[in-house]
Amino acid sequence: MPGANGRATQADVARLAGVSQATVSLILNGGDTGRRRVGEQTRQRVLDAIRMTGYVANPAAQRLAGGRARIIGVFTYEPVFPRDSRDFYHPFLIGVEAQAEQLGCDLLFFTGTPSPQGRRLLGDGSRRLGIADGCVLLGRHDDKRDLADLLSRDFPFAFIGRRESDAGTVPYVGADYVTATREVVERLFALGHERVGFLGDLRHDEPSVDRASGYHQAVRAARRRPVVLDGTGLTGGEALDLLGDNGLTAAVVWPSGLAPQIRSAALARGMSVPGDLSLAQLGDVEDGSPGDIDWTGFRIPREQMGAAAVQLLFDQLVSPTTLGATALQRTLACTVVPGTTAGPPAPGRVPAGRRSAQPG
């Protein structure tokens, strides 16, 4: 039975023939080797299913596998491409470019269509991606409809960052935010803080969920009570007040751009960081602000993720039969940084934010 868009996929063929999708790929791309490995009877069932469904193999993937075209698309959900080297997304694209060059591939950038929220969407433009052999996608706020469409069309792609879809296995190269966040929170407890708060974005996108998961793991292991606070839309002063209202001496902050604002508000009130309040960033600063503070927290392997995503896409194109679901989803470790913005709580200190002389 064809997929939702009316076009049959390898998954449709596999279901009808009663075999795995890897077996279908092997028969389509494996030549004599594939015939020997699966047997003639299984091969015939698959060929019959192909005729019944009208499945047509992705010609772009076949061209790349045969060495006749090497074009990799790049699409970002962010409103603009990086304007300078301080942009959060710049290292990702450096990695993408370097790995594409190493593999002998050209890059083709797609812009998609703008949305009322100011970010890009693939939408109907996803069909244009077929100009390339496959596509690397990046951006914090993806669109699940795009992922479902790409999966339904068997279009090769790789997302930079963990992404999930009800439509199937999303190929991605992600950062291990769970482990990194857990280790940062464990460090704050080890410094002597009795209560460590999580202040940030509480939406259910994958990057936020992973960080919250790491926080809760550390809190449970320390047998402490979690303090999860919504920092969406808060100024630095408002966030500082919120930490103080909850009697916190330390907090991990996400998105990372909020942490410098809290620090500035604390300094304006005569407080010190980390003397009166310890802060840790759960990732690199996203707003391109100067890196003059040695922040406690972790760094994301952005350049490595970009390169690994290109390699994952290339692997799908040239060796589709060797990649199982596990190989399609790859995770890289973050680098935990001790930094100078976290330290032991000062004896008899006043809770954060309660020395407020004027709003920050």
Worst-scoring range by mean pLDDT, 20-24, 30-34, 242-246? 30-34
How far apart (Å, rounded) are the C-alpha atoms in residues 155 and 135? 8
Statement to judge: residues 268 and 319 lie in one domain: no
Q: Which two tokens stand for residue 10?
A: 């390898």
Q: Output the CA torsion 340→346→351→354 (10° steps).
A: -80
- Cβ–Cβ contacts within 10 Å for residue 292, how many? 6
Domain annotation covers residue 350:
no
Express the helix, strand and coil content of the chain in percent, nearest 5 each: 40, 15, 40
Residue 346 within any structural domain of the chain: no
Classified as helix, coil or strand, 281 is: strand
Residue 85 has pLDDT above 70, yes or no: no
* Cβ contacts of 360 within 8 Å, gap of 6 or more: 235, 236, 237, 238, 240, 261, 264, 265, 266, 268, 269
Tokens of 85: 């080297």
Place of tokens 């069932």: 45
Q: Which amino acid is at 229?
A: L
User: Does 241 lie in the same domain as 204?
Assistant: yes
Residue 273 lies in a domain: yes
Helix (H, G, I), strand (E, B) or coil at 297: strand
Residues 157 and 89 in one domain: yes
Please state, in angstroms and rounded to a whole number, the distance separating the CA atoms of residues 233 and 36: 61
Assign residue 40 the CATH number of its domain: 1.10.260
CA 134 from centroid of its chain's CA atoms: 18
Sheet bearing 296-299, strands edge to edge: 227-230, 196-200, 250-254, 278-281, 296-299, 335-337
Q: Where are the beta strands (DSSP E) in 193-276?
A: 196-200, 227-230, 250-254
Q: In which domain, by residue range, is 124 found?
A: 62-170+302-333
Same domain, yes or no: 92 and 159: yes
- Cross-strand partners of 254: 200
Instruction: Assess if residue 344 is contained within a domain.
Output: no
Residue 288 and residue 229 share a domain: yes
pLDDT confidence band for 54 (50 / 70 / 90): confident
Q: Indicate if 278 and 309 belong to the same structural domain.
A: no
142 is a domain residue:
yes
Q: pLDDT tens, 132-185?
A: 889 999 988 788 888 998 998 888 999 999 999 999 999 999 999 999 999 999
Contact 236, 264 (CB under 8 A): yes
| 216 domain-assigned | yes
CB 146 within 8 A of CB 170: no
Could you give the number of structural domains in the chain? 3
CATH code, domain with 157: 3.40.50.2300
Indicate whether 199 and 226 sit together in one domain.
yes
Question: Measuring CA to CA, which residue among 103, 100, 94 is closest to residue 73?
Answer: 100
Instruction: Please report which confidence band the pLDDT of residue 65 belongs to, taking 50, 70 and 90 as the band edges.
Output: very low
pLDDT, tens digit (0-9, with 9 covering 90-100), for 182-212: 999 999 999 999 999 999 888 889 999 999 9
User: Of residues 352 and 302, which shows the higher confidence score?
Assistant: 302
The answer to whether residues 307 and 290 belong to one domain is no
Average pLDDT over residues 244-260: 93
Q: Averaged over 272-280, what is the pLDDT?
A: 96
Pairing of strands 71-76, 134-138: parallel
DSSP states of 71-99 as a string? Answer: EEEEEESSSS---STTSTTHHHHHHHHHH
Task: Please tell me whether residues 165 and 307 are part of one structural domain.
Answer: yes
pTM of the model: 0.77
| Residue-wise DSSP of 148-203 | HHHHHTT--EEEES---BTTBPPPEEEE-HHHHHHHHHHHHHHTT-S-EEEEE--S
**Does a structural domain hold residue 24?**
yes
pLDDT score recorded for residue 48: 87
